[in-house]
Structure 1
Amino acid sequence: MEDVLLANDRAGDSFYGMMHYHMGWVDESFQPLLANAGKRVRPLLALLSARSAGGDWEKTVPGAASLELLHNFSLIHDDIQDASPTRRGRPTIWNLWGVNLAINSGDAMFALAHESMIRMVDRGVPAKIVVHALRRLDETCIDLTIGQHADMLFEERDDVTVEQYLEMIGGKTAALLSFSTELGALVAGRNKDIVDHYASFGKDLGMAFQVRDDILGIWGDETVIGKSSATDIVTRKKSLPILYGLSKSDELIDLYSQSENGENFVQQVVQLLDGVRAHEFAQAYEEKYANSALTHLEAANPEGAAAVALRQLTMILLNRQA
């Protein structure tokens, strides 16, 4: 990522500086710092998948960077659409420099994601595979934006079903994780069956990851997750437990339609969710997707130390508390 973002950079250049800031590399004055640059789960999944599939992980590095650039393009735009003032404990780009410049930074990062993917050719990846990877990158981006489109529409709807929600997160969250693991197997030159297993592993891992996020957003430990566990309720987020609760409790529907946001309101919502066993409902979906992810991973027959690391990373993601 640094190679791509620094290739045409000039010291103090605000165009690249804003992107560097978003990545956590510089402060508001574009001075270097050590900061929380995010988990970088997607590139790590791609590199481990490539190596565990018998490929050269170093050849995959530009593609792995591309995934993170695409992910961060989506985060910049998400922050604007959600009017989020902060990310990772710092002001968001739009909050510092305005919506117009933030949109432009996101657009640039989208283009740089493609430039980075093409650089796999320079590492010896066959052009045919790189072209296919570029096609899959764009297909993934379409899935991601369709999911985001649905998520925004859901904010104005009171009739969202569990099935519609699962389809939405399949695009918004799981699609890029799916391509991350798929990319590694593609670069390793594996056959379609193995590539499909890696892709399905990533897809189901992404689904489980998002459902766990939904659970933590209501029942998580605030000291661990770093934000109020009431946030999802106060913002009326239509997460999986909430949607299930709304489908089972008219009292919750009435309560959710009110403008109240105080502590008593949050406690009432949680009590109603507990009453219909919404936590257990969501947990069952999380376990279903987690088990499916692990089944696909084993079917892909990953090998070596990278396979061990991939399984360990999977368990960390599935059991995370934040």
Structure 2
Amino acid sequence: MRELESLGKEMRIALDEEMRAVLQADGGVPDLYYGMMHYHMGWRDRDLRPADVNAGKQIRPVLLLLVCQAAGGDWRQAVPAAAAVELLHNFSLIHDDIEDASPTRRGRETLWQIWGIEQAINAGDAMFALAHLALNRLYDRGVPAERVVRALRRFDETCVRLTQGQHTDMDFEKRDRVNVDEYIEMITGKTAVLLSLCAELGALVAGQDDDTIAHYAQYGLDAGLAFQVIDDILGIWGDETLIGKSASTDITTKKKTLPVLYGLEHSADLRQLYTQEETDSAFVHQAVELLDQTGARDFATTKATAYTQSALSNLEAAHPSGPAYIALNQLTDMLLKRDY
């Protein structure tokens, strides 16, 4: 993992500098407008004093930069694109927290909990706009205007898919029946398309041809799907000491994940059980037992394996090279061959 650790550290430093430049307030001192965004990014505390809080894994921007380098480009030239996708991701988190009424994120109060829903919505909107301005900075790094315009178009198309995925996910919460195909379409929009965009933008900045860019984009899409399905499996059968939360949470909240939806389609007993309002330990035990009887875990594992194999095949077809390719393989293994 030396390549990933070494390159990843250098890339995250450059990414942080770029995002801070994009979110820099006039005069250099963050007022409340920028301060709320700085708080969400982990750069400030709730009193807007400097802080250094865990900003998340930043997997998406690192993947983008690794693809750029592995595809024959200079990852430093792609830093504005990496900043753009990370800001886009964080915009979506600000709004997700409001929509889900989540009181905390990364161990701190969410934006809306401190400054109210109206201001949090506005801060998210601002970060969405600033993400676009970040992407425009590719031109300042010497990326040809034609590629920048293409990147902006794909960025906006992905934004639409992300909001469609979120719309569908919220709609699922109100529905009693959701089938497996609908779920795959939802996670494609909500999760996988952003990882696909990262791989695509990395190859685009590197100046690759359309076929190679398409292979990288498909790699990202399949990796995103595999990642989410693995997450669904761990949400029921994962080791609680490794995943850092109760492995029964997805059952007690009746979350519509891939194994659960498969189980509901194939077990009348599970459908009957899910009509209960009480979700105590007995409910969890019986639900997991019924899921095992339907083969839901095996079904989800087979799906994850198929997506993983497709992702790796498309990565190989793109013919990446160098230390960045080694690091990219290490990152892919970390995402898709995990138990937490």
Q: TM-score over 0.5 for the alignment?
A: yes
Instruction: Quote the offset at 1:9 in angstroms.
Output: 6.6
1:133 pairs, out of 151, 168, 172, with: 151
1:10-29 equivalent positions in 2, closer than 5 A: 10-29=28-47
1:289 pairs, out of 307, 326, 334, with: 307
Q: CA RMSD in A?
A: 1.2
SS for the counterpart of 1:173 is helix
Larger displacement relative to structure 2 (209-218 or 113-122): 209-218
Structure-1 residue corresponding to 2:214: 196
Larger displacement relative to structure 2 (170-179 or 251-260): 251-260
CA separation in 2, counterparts of 1:9 and 1:283? 53
1:151 pairs, out of 169, 178, 184, with: 169
Larger displacement relative to structure 2 (16-25 or 65-74): 16-25
1:1-322 equivalent positions in 2, closer than 5 A: 1-8=19-26, 10-322=28-340
When normalised by structure 2's length, the TM-score is: 0.92
CA separation in 1, counterparts of 2:278 and 2:21? 49
Question: Gaps spanning 5+ residues in structure 1: where?
Answer: none
Instruction: Quote the offset at 1:11 in angstroms.
Output: 3.0
Once the two structures are superposed, residues 203-226 of structure 1 have per-residue CA deviations (whole angstroms, 9 ceiling, x without a partner) of: 000000110111111112222222
Once the two structures are superposed, residues 218-260 of structure 1 have per-residue CA deviations (whole angstroms, 9 ceiling, x without a partner) of: 1122222222222212222110000001011111111112111
Instruction: Quote the offset at 1:12 in angstroms.
Output: 4.9
Question: Gaps spanning 5+ residues in structure 2: where?
Answer: 1-18
Equivalent residues of 1:140, 1:176 under 8 A apart: yes
Equivalent residues of 2:24, 2:30 under 8 A apart: no
Once the two structures are superposed, residues 102-123 of structure 1 have per-residue CA deviations (whole angstroms, 9 ceiling, x without a partner) of: 1111101100100000001000
CA separation in 1, counterparts of 2:28 and 2:77? 28
Instruction: Quote the offset at 1:161 in angstroms.
Output: 0.9
Paired residues, what number?
322
| Overall identity of the aligned pairs, in % | 61
Instruction: Quote the offset at 1:7 in angstroms.
Output: 4.8
CA separation in 2, counterparts of 1:9 and 1:197? 44
When normalised by structure 1's length, the TM-score is: 0.97
CA separation in 1, counterparts of 2:79 and 2:259? 37
Structure-1 residue corresponding to 2:10: none
SS for the counterpart of 1:30 is coil
